[in-house]
Amino acid sequence: MTAPSATADKIVEIVRAALAPHGLFLRGTVNVSSAEAAPLLTDGRPAASVLLIGNIGGSLWQAFSAWRDGLPERGGADPLDTWSKAVIGPVAAACGATAYFPSDPPWQPFQQWAMRAEGLKASPLGILIHPRYGLWHGYRGALAFDRRLPETGQRAAEHPCDRCAAKPCKSACPANALAEERFDVGLCRGHLRSEAGRAGCLSVGCLSRAACPVGSDYRYRQEQLRFHMAALSL
């Protein structure tokens, strides 16, 4: 049975099975009402639902690393984005869906989708914090469909930062990039390019992110931490 002719439940099952070998998960469903702006399908029609796809902890790292190691120039300038498209694009084609990615226009509201699908809120770092995974998760793409699909995620009952009085993420930042209400990317990047930053966050991972006690069991391994910090420093 092909996904376009399958039931809504079967589509979810097919997508979940196709993503699993790559360490990717269905993170949640957004069903779009007729009264709101919707992403467009390939044929120009508005989508009825969106499935969010992402990693939990370092779940994608083994598959991504094996793919990158087998390529000349290790996947180019944005290897994780390229890999995400190589994995998610064929899934979209097989399911009759339209794929969207955070790195590509037309820009889609991935954070808003995640807040809506999983009930998450932003941490002081700007990263959405999950009550179980903490700051150790991400969204690699989304599939837009012409039909409503069943819920695939579990909504958070509370926001971990609301019950955190100490805010160790703020005090741990050597660049003081979390002093204001918004995370100052410029201050962070400037620090990463300094001698202290190269020896600190760029080498071992974001000290602020590591200071958060939520989801420590899902913390990325050292190689993945360095990869993300190197990308942020560019």
Per-residue pLDDT of the chain (234 residues; tens, 9 = 90+): 345 568 999 999 999 999 999 999 999 999 998 888 899 999 999 999 999 999 999 999 999 999 999 887 776 789 999 999 999 999 999 999 999 999 999 999 999 999 999 999 999 999 999 999 999 999 999 999 999 999 887 888 889 999 999 999 999 999 999 988 789 999 999 999 999 999 999 999 999 999 999 999 999 999 999 999 999 998
| C-alpha dist (Å) from residue 104 to 31, 110, 183, 215 | 22, 11, 23, 29
Q: Are both 145 and 218 inside the same structural domain?
A: no
Q: Are both 174 and 142 inside the same structural domain?
A: no
The confidence score (pLDDT) of residue 40 equals 94
- Could you say which of 159, 183, 212 is where a domain stops? 159
The confidence score (pLDDT) of residue 1 equals 37
Q: Are both 61 and 140 inside the same structural domain?
A: yes
Torsion, CA 175, CA 177, CA 180, CA 185, rounded to 10: 150
The confidence score (pLDDT) of residue 75 equals 67
| C-alpha dist (Å) from residue 131 to 50, 56, 64 | 22, 12, 26
| C-alpha dist (Å) from residue 163 to 131, 159, 214 | 11, 7, 11
Q: Are both 133 and 22 inside the same structural domain?
A: yes
- Helix and strand numbers (H, E) in the chain are 10, 6
Q: Are both 78 and 155 inside the same structural domain?
A: yes
Q: Are both 155 and 228 inside the same structural domain?
A: no
Four-residue CA torsion sign, 135, 23, 139, 37:
negative
Q: Count up the domains in the chain and report the number.
A: 2
The confidence score (pLDDT) of residue 192 equals 96
The confidence score (pLDDT) of residue 3 equals 56
Domain hosting 70: range is 3-159
pTM: 0.93
Q: Are both 27 and 137 inside the same structural domain?
A: yes
Q: Are both 147 and 169 inside the same structural domain?
A: no
- Could you say which of 138, 159, 180 is where a domain stops? 159
Strand order in the sheet with 137-145: 25-31, 49-56, 137-145, 98-100
- Segment holding 26, helix H or strand E: strand 25-31
Residues 6+ apart with CB under 8 A from 102: 108, 110, 139, 140, 141
Q: Are both 72 and 9 inside the same structural domain?
A: yes
Q: Are both 153 and 188 inside the same structural domain?
A: no
- Could you say which of 106, 132, 159 is where a domain stops? 159
The confidence score (pLDDT) of residue 176 equals 95
